[in-house]
Amino acid sequence: MFMKSLIFSLSFLLIFFPPKHIFSQLLPISPPIIYSDTQGEWNLLHASIGISAMHMQLLHNNKVIIFDRTDFGPSNLSLPGGRCRYDPVDTVLQNDCTAHSILYDIGTNQYRPLTIQTDTWCSSGAVLPNGTLVQTGGFNDGDHVVRTFSPCIDDSCDWTEFPNYLSGRRWYATNQILPDGRVIIVGGRRQFSYEFFPRNPQASSSSSNSPSFDLRFLLDTRDYDENNLYPFLHLLPDGNLFIFANTRSIVFDYKQNRVIKEFPQIDGGDPRNYPSSGSSVLLPLDENISGAGAGIVEAEVMVCGGAPRWSYGQAVNKVFQRALSTCGRLVVVGHANPSWVMEDMPLPRVMGDMLILPTGDVIIINGAESGTSGWELGRDPATRPIIYRPSSEIVGQRYSIMAPSPRPRLYHSSAILLTDGRVLVGGSNPHVYYNFTDVMYPTDLSLESFSPPYLSAKYAAVRPKIVAVNETLGYGEKLTVSFTVSEYLSWREVSVRIILPSFTTHSFAMNQRMVVIKTMGVYREASGSYNVLGVGPSTAEIAPPGYYLLFVVHSGTPSSGVWVKIS
Ligand SMILES: *[C@@H]1O[C@H](CO)[C@@H](O)[C@H](O)[C@H]1NC(C)=O
Ligand SMILES: *[C@@H]1O[C@H](CO)[C@@H](O)[C@H](O)[C@H]1NC(C)=O
Ligand SMILES: *[C@@H]1O[C@H](CO)[C@@H](O)[C@H](O)[C@H]1NC(C)=O
Ligand SMILES: *[C@@H]1O[C@H](CO)[C@@H](O)[C@H](O)[C@H]1NC(C)=O
Ligand SMILES: *[C@@H]1O[C@H](CO)[C@@H](O)[C@H](O)[C@H]1NC(C)=O
């Protein structure tokens, strides 16, 4: 019996955590066997939503705002009420009566068109503490525009545009929500500077008289292929910004416009930002470990994939380099002289999206195995997501490979986490226009969801269900989360986590962060439900104010998320 179970466990380990050399030998030849409950499940939500999902953001009313660009030509969705946009400088279609943005309702699986008047191509966004989405920049007539969208309970809300709001041309810039509720907008093509929303109130009285501040690091990291676009930004628990561009990274004090520290370059010397498009996450900030609470929370950044140096230029000349298959982890707060710790992914990937799942694991989804970002420059779609367990002790056991999507998701695809723990996947428009035929990878207007293995019905007995939680929470305030579960194990199996949903575009999930809440215990109510007692995040640097999704994870199985407003 013992031998049998030992053999079973060993073969289990080999199937799910094969040593790296087995991956590299077997995978390119034969695709993995698909077990729907261990490799996740794909579902087609819509064959066409009319537009290609280039940018996505989940809002706190469980609706997802999706938009692409306005100068592709007509989309496959008309604007209602005879609305049109007239743009005399649009090179494709001056009078456009189609929509380039939609609002998707998760609960009903319905969507409705929204109206954008100026070009949002390759732009950025962040959600304000009050739940309003702020979108910044774009291209052409849209590159200085800020647009907001405030969620509403009926179908009345739409975009509001603020022309000439930005001082710089923000095309391929990155945003981050700040502890004071402002948004910092960093970079953009040939913009070696940053600015804020709302605009810096001191701007007019400052010596430069400009609401924008120089950032030399962006100039220094620009190379021939411009591999410093969409810099990876993460707000650190000490209030500074981590900025990664090309191969280099810094800790930046945006208040003093001062570089505090520069880290070693990522090993290998290959670029990780657009158009070499790797991705990055701030790994979960853990306030439940001792030491946290005293204000010291360690922070670690992870960067995965990308393309070898000069890949973009080579792809333009039809030579498609194999993407990078390495990830690097760097302790950015809590270590005086950190160095990158490199790991191999089981598959190479460029243009992958990295999302933090409710369990604290990281999914790497979408993208290609060769080429780079840019029109027609991606090859060998990476259809199999991988899930990475940052907390797993054994390096070779951190990755598992998921079931392949039936659809390539190349340039201009995106992915976000949904309230119920699924991942919403859409987009892929590697062409200048909406080309549906006669091209290698036709424009994709479909919307899919990927259900990670934790959603499998086989975990139903241990899956917690949140029945009550504090709707609003202040810093360091006590919280109680009540949940029910059929088979309760022990409180050591229970964790409470909050996630700030991302604005995802171009393989980077802006603003994404997870905080593991400090918990003190679980007690059982007479009603049979369980109450977890915890303390809200300590500071706005750890968790900037706003709407978070709160999850209870029991025995590795997450509940559905519940919205909590932190202020
Ligand atoms: C465009 O929309 C129509 C329905 O409105 C649908 O039949 C068609 O397949 C869509 N085209 C694409 C390329 O998705
Ligand atoms: C949130 O704040 C912004 C900026 O001050 C404002 O424009 C917007 O109307 C507010 N939204 C809500 C829902 O109050
Ligand atoms: C893509 O669509 C545009 C606009 O409809 C058209 O001009 C162009 O020839 C198409 N490209 C290909 C490769 O079909
Ligand atoms: C959270 O909810 C619990 C239970 O209802 C309550 O005891 C506690 O005071 C609440 N905390 C805050 C900060 O309102
Ligand atoms: C949270 O911290 C407590 C106290 O240190 C510990 O007993 C518990 O196991 C921790 N929970 C998790 C999920 O790490």
CB-ligand 4 contact for 477 (6 Å cutoff)? yes
Predicted confidence at residue 90, as pLDDT, reads 85
Distance in Å, CA 150 to ligand 1 centroid: 29
Number of residues assigned to the chain: 567
pLDDT digits (tens, 9 = 90+) for 1-29: 333 343 334 333 333 333 333 333 333 33
pLDDT bracket for residue 207 (50, 70, 90): very low
pLDDT of residue 206 exceeding 70: no
Question: Residue 288, exposed/middle/buried by CB under 10 A (0-12, 13-18, 19+)?
Answer: middle
Q: Which of 471, 479, 483, 567 to mutate to test the pocket of ligand 4 (most atoms within 8 A of CB)?
A: 479
Using CA atoms of 172, 412, 387, 290 in order, give the dihedral in degrees to the nearest 10.
Answer: 30
Q: How far is the CA of 532 from the centre of ligand 4 (A)?
A: 12
151 CA to centre of ligand 2 in angstroms: 10
pTM value is 0.93
Any idea which of 2-16, 297-311, 451-465, 544-558 has the lowest mean pLDDT? 2-16
Q: With pLDDT > 70 as the criterion, what percentage of the chain qualifies? A: 91
470 lines ligand 4 (CB under 6 A): yes
Amino acid identity, position 473: L
422, 406 Cβ separation under 8 angstroms: no
Residue 522: nearest ligand to its CA?
A: 5
**Which helix or strand (DSSP H or E) is residue 378 part of?**
strand 378-381
Q: Counting atoms of ligand 4 from 1, which one is nearest the CA of 479? A: 1
Mutate to test the pocket of ligand 4, among 467, 469, 470 (most ligand atoms within 8 A of CB): 470
Nearest-atom index, ligand 5, CA of 492: 9
Please tell me the predicted confidence (pLDDT) of residue 14.
Answer: 36
Residue 131 Cβ < 6 Å to ligand 2: yes
The domains located in the chain, with CATH, are 2-35+459-566 (2.60.40.10), 41-455 (2.130.10.80)
Tell me the CA–centroid distance for residue 436 and ligand 3, in Å: 9
In the three-class reduction of DSSP (H, G, I as helix; E, B as strand; rest coil), residue 261 is classed as: strand
Ligand 5 centroid – CA 534 distance (Å): 11
Evaluate whether 380 touches 315 at the Cβ level (below 8 Å): no
Which pLDDT value is given to residue 27? 32
Q: From CA 348, how far away is CA 338, in angstroms rounded?
A: 25
In the reported structure, the alpha carbon of residue 50 is separated from the centroid of ligand 1 by a whole-number distance in angstroms of 7
Over residues 50-82, the pLDDT tens digits come to 999 999 999 999 999 999 999 889 999 999 889
Q: Looking at the DSSP assignment, which residues form a beta bridge with residue 409?
A: none
Contact 78 CB / ligand 1 (< 6 Å):
no
Sign of CA pseudo-dihedral 338, 340, 343, 349: positive
CA atoms within 13 A on the CB side of 80: 9
Phi, psi of 21 (to 5 degrees): -65, -25
The number of the ligand 1 atom at minimal distance from the alpha carbon of 443 is 13
What is the Cα–Cα distance from 500 to 70, expressed in whole angstroms?
Answer: 28
Write down the residue that tokens 């120089």 correspond to.
214
Which protein residue's CA is at the shortest distance from atom 8 of ligand 5?
A: 492
- Kindly give the number of the ligand 1 atom that is closest to the alpha carbon of 442: 13
135-181 confidence digits (pLDDT tens):
999 999 999 999 999 999 999 999 999 999 999 999 999 999 999 99
What's the 473 CA to ligand 4 centre distance in angstroms?
Answer: 8
Mutate-to-test residue for ligand 5 from 285, 286, 288, 494, highest number of ligand atoms within 8 A of CB: 288
132 lines ligand 2 (CB under 6 A): yes
| Confidence class for position 294, pLDDT limits 50, 70, 90 | low
pLDDT tens, residue by residue, 419-449? 999 999 999 999 999 999 999 999 999 999 9
pLDDT at 203: 52
**pLDDT tens-place string over residues 303-343:** 999 999 999 999 999 999 999 999 999 999 999 999 999 99
User: Predicted confidence band at 291 (pLDDT cuts at 50, 70, 90)?
Assistant: low
